[in-house]
Amino acid sequence: MSSSQIEIDTSGQFPELRRGVRQLCDRFPGAYWRRVDADRAYPVEFVQAMTAAGFLAALIPESYGGGGASMAEASVILEEVNRSGGNGAVCHAQMYIMGALLRHGSLAQRERWLPPIAAGQLRLQAFGVTEPTAGSDTSRIQTRAEREGDEYVITGQKIWTSRAQHSDLLLLLARTAAAETVSKRTDGLSLFLVDLRAAGDRELTIRPLETMINHHTTEMFFDGLRVPAANRIGEEGQGFRYILDGMNAERILISAESIGDGGWFIERSVEYANQRIVFDRPIGQNQGVQFPIAQAYANLRAADLMRWQAARLFDSDRSCGAEANMAKMLAADAAWEAANVCLQTYGGFGFAREYDVERKFREAKLYQIAPVSNHLALSYLAQHVLGLPRSY
């Protein structure tokens, strides 16, 4: 069996969609992604191509000019991007951020923002939640939004807000009621759609953060940024509840990207193990090489099953918090296992940039840590599924 015939997908669904994404990705081979990575650049051409093909508007209803796709279909799009050797993280936020606007935005907001996003005239790529002093404890964020007439005045700081420099719109979570005045610590948080194009230099400062991967992440400083009250999504103080839908979508889509990464690593491992001759035999003939690849393949297929279960529950509007967390955790772990196996299989050549293994290796590690640590996913399962005492 050649590496091109290795089957990872456990669903057998959406073959035409897969072919369409693969055809687009064929235009952006490894050399393209190596150049972008080396230059620490944003892959403008790739994002434009994804937008023009309608893939980034997949989850926007057809009535607003989008694709009207399911979460399952959206996950396939990002899986195939990563399976091709690309990086879906450069544009995936537009898919999972969309849920808050779709499910909780007013009719006027949807009619104003969704058609130009679907048409590629606007980018909604940035999600401002995390803060330096709060980390994963979202209830402790301190960025304030104070009501003044028909506007809110935003003051505070965000960190790890990726793609803020490449987005027109920002989905921002801020505190509209002090933590000590609310009965539940996740109350008093409100969600806003911020037009970054209208922000002045004094009101908003965006600083890029250099990281081990080319993730285009930033820290943001708000100093009296005025946002129309009409841009608040849903009720004041209920923002945390609104972002939960987006977080489940995010976890499902991230799991699909990890499945794609794992498939890429396994294909490369098999191909190299068959071709590399040492001591007059292909290294893949040695069980010490083939067993780790086979184990990584089995674990990736198992993770894919949970990804599909989570997507089905999400698409049927059923509770999927546990499944979304498990899908993300299992897929991220499986991809990282496959990454280590691939680098070990390549040996020294795996560190050479021309093979793309080292780049993908760095990128695959991210999803065990962010957008939510796998440890927090385990804590969620322990408390909400198994009934163990709350640990955080």
Sequence-separated (6 or more) residues with CB below 8 Å from residue 271: 2, 3
**Per-residue confidence (pLDDT) for residue 245, from 0 to 100:** 74
Domains 3-118 and 241-385 share a fold: no
Sequence-separated (6 or more) residues with CB below 8 Å from residue 27: 49
By the 8 A CB rule, do 182 and 209 touch? Answer: no
By the 8 A CB rule, do 154 and 174 touch? Answer: yes
- pLDDT profile of the chain (392 residues), mean per 10: 68 96 98 97 97 96 96 97 96 87 94 96 95 89 97 97 96 94 92 95 96 96 98 96 88 97 98 97 98 98 98 95 97 98 98 98 96 94 96 84
**Per-residue confidence (pLDDT) for residue 42, from 0 to 100:** 96
Per-domain boundaries in the chain: 3-118, 124-237, 241-385
What is the CATH class of 3-118?
A: mainly alpha
Cα separation of 100 and 246, whole Å? 6
What topology does CATH give the domain 241-385? Butyryl-CoA Dehydrogenase, subunit A; domain 3 (1.20.140)
The helix or strand, by DSSP H or E, that contains position 259, with its residue range, turns out to be helix 239-275
By the 8 A CB rule, do 8 and 259 touch? Answer: yes
**48-60 as b/e: b if 16+ CB within 10 A:** ebbbebbbbbbbb
- The string of pLDDT tens digits covering residues 84-117 is 999 999 989 888 888 899 989 999 999 999 999 9
Provide the CATH number for the domain formed by 124-237 in this structure: 2.40.110.10
